[in-house]
Amino acid sequence: MNESEVRDQLEKCHPSCYGWALSCSSRDPLEAEDVLQTAYLKVLQGVARYDGRSAFKTWLFAVIRRTAADERRRHWLRRLRLAGYKRERELSFQPAERGARLEESEMLTVFQKALARLPRRQREVLHLVFYQDLSLQEAAGVMGVTVGSARAHYERGKAHLREWLKQSEQFNEYRSDRQQAQTSFQ
């Protein structure tokens, strides 16, 4: 694949790549941008080479995942060296869309908190399957695990999410509202 084809593929995949980088970076937008920029540089400079054994998007997601892991290690080592000094990072919050309902926002927050409670691999496979529309086989390739392992993490993650969301008052209210609406139509 020549450089112009690689650039075209990167442009085409950018929105989903940013979402994946965000997921790999603990939902920190600044860190996700750094990870994505580093991954793109690796690809464009030829440090990471696409060999055609998988789909380009699958390969690129694996590069992003490994880059994020490298960044986490670097941050950890930096924190270790600077243990005596605490640095606070400013978090940039994206403003909520206008007209978004408070209830939906609260439900999204509850869901994201439940998703964040999952072990890393379960969270990653669910993100790849639901947000990035990858198959379990493609997700396994991105994560560097077998399809069976990805399937196990996927099923366990869904089960944990179901259990935690059942316990959430927010979703219980939503469920009771839906049940009342269904019985009124029958």
Domains of the chain plus CATH, in order, are 1-82 (1.10.1740), 101-186 (1.10.10.10)
> What whole-number distance in Å separates Cα of residue 124 and Cα of residue 131?
10
pLDDT for 55: 92
pLDDT for 162: 85
Give yes or no for residue 182 having a pLDDT over 80. Answer: no
pLDDT in tens, 116-144: 889 999 998 988 888 888 889 988 998 99
Average pLDDT over every residue of 18-41: 93
Rounded alpha-carbon distances, angstroms, from residue 151 to 15, 49, 82, 167: 25, 28, 40, 25
pLDDT > 70 in the chain, percent:
75
Band (pLDDT 50/70/90 cuts) for residue 85 is very low
> What whole-number distance in Å separates Cα of residue 4 and Cα of residue 113?
40
Q: Which residue has the higher pLDDT, 14 or 97?
A: 14
Give yes or no for residue 93 having a pLDDT over 90. Answer: no
